[in-house]
Amino acid sequence: MTPEVEAAVAELVSAFPKATVTATSTGDGGADVTIDPVDPGPAYNERETWVRFNIGFQYPHADVYPIFVRPDLVRADGADHPEGIALGSVGDTRALQLSRRSNRLNPASDTAALKVTKVLHWLETR
């Protein structure tokens, strides 16, 4: 992994101390990362999900996007998932895709840990 991707993974480990953070090198300097488990919040019936995403070799200039969670996440109010959340797949695994791009990304401050935290907060508050 590039030094920048390594640092991102280390920061994710610190940011999610109650979860297992697994980073698999993609062979080009990037990494496929899984964080498990994470609580998506009371808006959902399921209170545990894994989170999966790719950190590209050109991180921190590359966005951490999209982010994937378990495909069977169901809203407690029974409503459909809103725009930005749709069924897809990551690799051969079915998943809900959370499509939240960063606007005007600042590579000095917009870390992977910050992005994942923001997206999970967005998921929690849908």
State the minimum distance, in angstroms, from the CB of residue 25 to another protein: 7
State the minimum distance, in angstroms, from the CB of residue 24 to another protein: 10
Beta strands 31-38 and 85-90, pairing class? unpaired
Q: What single string gives the DSSP state of each residue in 89-106? A: EETTEEEEEE--PPSS--
102 CB contacts (<8 Å, ≥6 apart)?
A: 63, 64, 65, 110, 115
User: Applying CB under 8 A, does 122 fall inside the site for another protein?
Assistant: no
CB atoms within 10 A of CB 65: 17
Which backbone phi and psi does 24 adopt, to 5 degrees? -115, 125
Binding to another protein, residues 5-64 (CB under 8 A): 6, 9, 23, 25-30, 54, 56-58, 61-64
Q: Which is nearer to another protein, 40 or 60 (CB)?
A: 60
Q: Which is nearer to another protein, 23 or 73 (CB)?
A: 23
Q: Which is nearer to another protein, 79 or 87 (CB)?
A: 87
Binding to another protein, residues 77-96 (CB under 8 A): 86, 88-91
Q: Return residues touching another protein (CB under 8 A).
A: 1-3, 6, 9, 23, 25-30, 54, 56-58, 61-66, 86, 88-91, 97, 101-102, 104-105, 107-108
